[in-house]
Structure 1
Amino acid sequence: MDVVVGRVAKAHGISGELAVDVRTDSPETRFAVGAVVAAKLRDGTSRDLTVAAARAHSGRLLVRFAEVLTRDVAESLRGTVLLGSTDDLPPTTDPDEFYDHQLEGLAAVLLDGTEVGTVLEVAHGAGGELLVIRRGDGTELLVPFVRQIVPTVDVAGGRVVLDPPEGLLDAD
């Protein structure tokens, strides 16, 4: 299975370097020299890219790929999603730590077992993580991924249990 490890924000400089918004906890491994990432371009095509160099810059990672030698090629990759294999992830040792892909697809239920929906993704923001849950009617719900609201994550059982404060699940 592949997981998103970054997204190309823009070209940087004139020699094909790319500014990448990192979406992984281990950029030093995912973007190490010689590492290969799968690039899913905006037009739906895919290709492999080999990291030739990477360095931190202004909250992003500047990455040079062996296959991207000019600014024009770099510009064509704007918006490209970079994927890595889950097989390359180290196991988590903390029972309260999860990879995003482990949570995606889990059923979201209340303490009494009432179904709320399905976890679509984990959104990462400055204020913390949010579970994006698709309800049965197709609407989406954002739930803060904190122990007080999500007291149980049962990956093996295929569910997360929610204990939301009053009003959190109300439709606007």
Structure 2
Amino acid sequence: MCGKGTCIVQLVVARIGRAHGIKGEVTVEVRTDEPELRLGPGAVLATEPASAGPLTIETGRVHSGRLLLRFEGVRDRTGAEALRNVLLIAEVDPEEVPEDPEEFYDHQLIDLDVVTVDGTAVGRISEISHLPYQDLLIVKRPDGGEVMIPFVSEMVPEIDLEEQRAVVDPPPGLLDEAEAEVATGREETPS
């Protein structure tokens, strides 16, 4: 969102899960590579739905491999349960970049042109899907279709923010079903 000379990008950094205990703590599904920066005590986060927030993190701790948070004003299990499935959103300056040069924020990738290593246009990144084991680039094709490309270095060897493009090296069949049939020797024969 932009206004009066300043722009802010909103990043979904977590989804609130189940209540934990009776004192208002909740489990969270972390959706950021920088939880210590985005989900630390004192952080004020917008929410989706907006009616649930904003929420200020009072405390955080790890218990049995899960991050537990408590928010200011949420003191019991009932209040914690009411927050289940709420998305936590951090507001970030669009010029801010991750410390690791191999990492990117979603807003940096959305709308990048996608081309293969030989320069063939594939489409444009419309969304990033964050799955438990890997992220997927959702690419809108010129014909209106979509293709999902795993965001791993073997398949996305280059992100060029200056040129506003992502270079992909997909295996046969990822972009074109006919390629998959030829690659596996399963070409359909007319009957």
Which TM-score applies when normalising by structure 1? Answer: 0.84
SS in 1 for 2:172: coil
Contact kept, 8 Å, 2:31 with 2:130, in 1: the verdict is no
CA contact (8 A) 1:123 1:132 kept: no
Matched, 1:9 2:6: no
Q: Does 1:31 align with 2:50?
A: no
Equivalent AA in structure 1 for residue 48 of structure 2: K
The yes-or-no answer on 1:97 pairing with 2:103 is yes
Structure 1 segments of 4+ aligned residues over 6 angstroms from their partners: none
Q: 2:165 corresponds to which letter in structure 1?
A: R
| Per-residue deviation, residues 46-81 of structure 1 (Å, max 9, x unmatched) | 521111110112332110000222222221211100
3-state SS in 1 of match to 2:152: coil
In structure 2, the gaps of 5 or more residues are 1-8, 179-191
Q: How much identity, in percent, do the aligned residues show?
A: 46
Structure possessing the higher radius of gyration over alpha carbons:
2
Paired residue for 1:167, among 173, 177, 190?
A: 173
Question: Which deviates the most, 88-97 or 27-36?
Answer: 88-97
Give the number of the structure whose residues are more often strand, by fraction. 1
Aligned pair in 2 of structure 1 residues 123, 140: CA closer, same or farther (>3 Å)? farther
Deviations along 1:73-101, whole A, 9 cap, x unmatched? 22121110001122399644543332233
State how 1:45-56 maps to structure 2 within 5 Å.
45=51, 47-56=53-62
Partner amino acid for 1:5? V
**Once superposed, what is the RMSD of the aligned Cα atoms?**
2.4
Name the CA shift for 1:123/1:132 in 2 (closer, same or farther; >3 Å): farther
Relative contact order, higher structure (CA 8 A, sep 6+): 1
Counterpart selection for 1:71 from 66, 70, 77: 77
TM-score of the two chains, using structure 2 as the length reference = 0.76
Contact 1:104 1:122 (8 Å CA) reproduced: no
- Note the 1:90-129 alignment, pairs <5 A: 91-119=97-125, 120-126=127-133, 128-129=134-135
Q: Deviation at 1:147? A: 2.8
CA change 1:83–1:60 in 2 (3 A) is: same
